[in-house]
Amino acid sequence: MAQMGSALPAQNLDAMAALAKVVVLYPDDPVANNQLGLVHGYLEDYEQSLKYYLVCVGRRGAPYLYYGNAASAYANLGRYGKARELLEEFLRTSPESGVAHLALADISNYEGRYDLALAEADKARQTRKRRMMVIVVAALAVVGGVVAGLKI
């Protein structure tokens, strides 16, 4: 297995070339751009990976995956403020995203802003707790329906 920052195995170079062709034909394609971003991140070329991730983030309704990847690239470049901005942008439209709150807690920790890191970690915990309650209630409803259907 290749080490981080090392050259890609030959078969991956073919895949990278194919993805680059897709991006030339479809410059806004989020899947190809994200994959190229991942490859460049693997090679520790975070500036290049960021270029591809930002195409994905620029799409309306982009999922956390793209924001998280771009924020991670910014963090790897030591640009924590930009990582924070991206995560806060995502959270404005998806405040219930526990994973985004955890990522923001991580960035705050790197910045030495421990009060903010704790606050974001608590928000993540609260969103997960609410989500788990919904899952438990839904599961109980299903079990109740099954039990009622069996007429026990």
Tell me the pLDDT of the chain averaged across its residues.
Answer: 83
What stretches in the chain show pLDDT beneath 50? 1-5, 144-152
> What is the pLDDT, as a whole number, of residue 15?
78
Report the pLDDT value the prediction gives residue 4, as an integer from 0 to 100.
47
What is the reported pLDDT for 129?
65
**C-beta separation of 33 from 53 below 8 A:** yes
79 φ/ψ angles, rounded to the nearest 5 degrees: -100, 70
pTM for the whole structure: 0.76
Radius of gyration of the chain (CA): 20
